[in-house]
Structure 1
Amino acid sequence: MHLGVIGATGTIGSRVVTEALARGHHVTAFTRDSTQIDEDRGNVVWKSLDVLDAASVAAGISGLDVLISGFQPGNAAKDIADTVARSIADPTVYATAARSLLKALESHPRTRLIVIGGAGSLEIEPGVVRADSDELLHSSLDALGLPRQYAAAVRGHRDALNVLRTSNRLWTYFSPAEDIAPGERTGRFRTGGDQPVLDAEGRSRISVEDAAVALVDEAELPRFVQRRFTIGY
């Protein structure tokens, strides 16, 4: 299988590349400036890509079976504060990126798209979405150590999901657990749909490594085409 990964130097994207290569897939790794990459692994090709330029995306994804997008403004793996600031400054960028990706897929209708989004659009109770409530959202951001202004970015991720939901392309939206951080690759987690997956302590959590496992699992065996899914321990 030939996978493309947008945001391949990012926290999740870099693990997706590693996971896909470990399973024997061919990977095209996209980043803003591929000239800065020093790569010695086989089966991976690096390319520069502007996600917001649909024509650039369409030209770059020819031959891919699945495109996994971990797009973020800036590079959170290198400077999380910069990514947070950029997301607050222009929360519409996530929906803009979603539209660009869908436009690119018009010329590649058989390529599946998996978008790595946010957890704020998950239903914490039937019909209750955290992103729709300032009180719930601020409480969650406080617990994660993020500024309350980041609420705009959380809603930006929700808007990107809504853009995808209007499309007839082969899209999937991945909402990670609320608490996601680098850790151990266990390969043991549970999968959900529109509600967070909680552990015995009522926490929604996952390692970045296991998120990569779930994403490559979905690429190999699609279960959530034109749907959202999430995971947790």
Structure 2
Amino acid sequence: MNLTVFGATGGIGRRLVRQALDAGHRVTAVVRDPARLEVTGGALEVVRADLTDPEPLRAAVAGRDAVLSGLGARARKDAGVASRLTRTVLGAMEAEGVRRLLVVSAAPVGPAAEGEGALDRAMLRVVSAVLRDVYADLRAMEAELARSSTDWTSVRPPRLQDKPLTGRYRTVVGGFPRAGRFIARADVAHAMLSMIDDGATVKQGVGVAY
């Protein structure tokens, strides 16, 4: 497949690029600073862009089979970037008629797991209060997705870890895995790539966790 990855130098983005290349896909990585992209490969094209205007991005998404985004706030002070930058990506995709889009959101944005225990509910309340602005931004991003013409999927992980890829995790379409508290960034990337052709995930939030 021909894929475009936004946020390709981020924790999940660079893993998306590496895993996609390893799987034999052609990848266009859209970054603000190409020097920060450590991944290389003959099937990799790097596009420098600041994501302030959808027009220059049209060539980066035109004719692609899917677009994957790791865009989002890296700290509370960055709240607002996910919805703003995703809006730009959506503008470019809709202008070019590209439909498939997968983005990273977060577990607290979606519904709680069925039968969630008291401890997990308490932890969720604390995290949601601390990162209130970040999650508000992600909810705004998901609202932008819902208004768009794209076949979107919002992948909602819990606390992220920098650990090796396992390929073993749980997913719940429209919900969240019970007692799912952690997942590696590498496995989030793996899940996103595996959902590209999964029609059951289209226009859905998908909880993913160990």
- Please report the TM-score for the alignment, with normalisation by the length of structure 2: 0.85
Distance in 2 of aligned mates of 1:169 and 1:113: 7
Against the structure 1 CA distance between its residues 107 and 138, is the aligned structure 2 distance closer, same or farther, given a 3 Å change threshold?
Answer: same
Amino acid across the alignment from 1:109: G
Query: 1:55 offset after TM fit, Å?
Result: 1.2
Query: 1:168 offset after TM fit, Å?
Result: 2.5
8 Å Cα contact 2:153/2:203 also seen in 1: yes
Distance in 1 of aligned mates of 2:127 and 2:102: 25
Against the structure 1 CA distance between its residues 179 and 60, is the aligned structure 2 distance closer, same or farther, given a 3 Å change threshold?
Answer: same
1:54-69 equivalence runs, <5 A? 54-69=54-69
5+ residue gaps, structure 1: 74-82, 127-134, 143-147
Amino acid across the alignment from 2:184: S
What is the RMSD computed on CA atoms of the aligned residues? Answer: 2.5
Corresponding residue number in structure 2 for 1:108: 96
8 Å Cα contact 1:138/1:151 also seen in 2: no
Against the structure 1 CA distance between its residues 125 and 229, is the aligned structure 2 distance closer, same or farther, given a 3 Å change threshold?
Answer: closer
8 Å Cα contact 2:176/2:206 also seen in 1: no
1:171-210 equivalence runs, <5 A? 171-176=152-157, 178-198=158-178, 202-210=179-187
Secondary structure of residue in 2 paired with 1:161: helix
8 Å Cα contact 1:120/1:155 also seen in 2: no
Against the structure 1 CA distance between its residues 206 and 36, is the aligned structure 2 distance closer, same or farther, given a 3 Å change threshold?
Answer: closer
Against the structure 1 CA distance between its residues 99 and 206, is the aligned structure 2 distance closer, same or farther, given a 3 Å change threshold?
Answer: same
CA deviations over 1:179-217 (Å, ceiling 9, x no partner): 22111312122211232213xxx2432111111111111
Corresponding residue number in structure 1 for 2:107: 119
CA deviations over 1:72-118 (Å, ceiling 9, x no partner): 35xxxxxxxxx31432xxx3332222322222122222341111122
Say whether 1:140 aligns with 2:127: yes
Against the structure 1 CA distance between its residues 40 and 152, is the aligned structure 2 distance closer, same or farther, given a 3 Å change threshold?
Answer: closer
8 Å Cα contact 1:118/1:158 also seen in 2: no
Corresponding residue number in structure 2 for 1:17: 17
Amino acid across the alignment from 1:110: V
Query: 1:71 offset after TM fit, Å?
Result: 1.2
5+ residue gaps, structure 2: 115-121
Against the structure 1 CA distance between its residues 67 and 196, is the aligned structure 2 distance closer, same or farther, given a 3 Å change threshold?
Answer: same
8 Å Cα contact 1:5/1:16 also seen in 2: yes
Corresponding residue number in structure 1 for 2:6: 6
Distance in 1 of aligned mates of 2:104 and 2:173: 14
Secondary structure of residue in 2 paired with 1:163: helix
Instruction: Give the aligned length.
Output: 205
Query: 1:36 offset after TM fit, Å?
Result: 5.2
8 Å Cα contact 1:120/1:158 also seen in 2: no
Distance in 1 of aligned mates of 2:193 and 2:108: 22
Against the structure 1 CA distance between its residues 194 and 222, is the aligned structure 2 distance closer, same or farther, given a 3 Å change threshold?
Answer: closer
Distance in 2 of aligned mates of 1:193 and 1:38: 33
Secondary structure of residue in 2 paired with 1:47: strand
Corresponding residue number in structure 1 for 2:44: 44
Secondary structure of residue in 2 paired with 1:197: coil
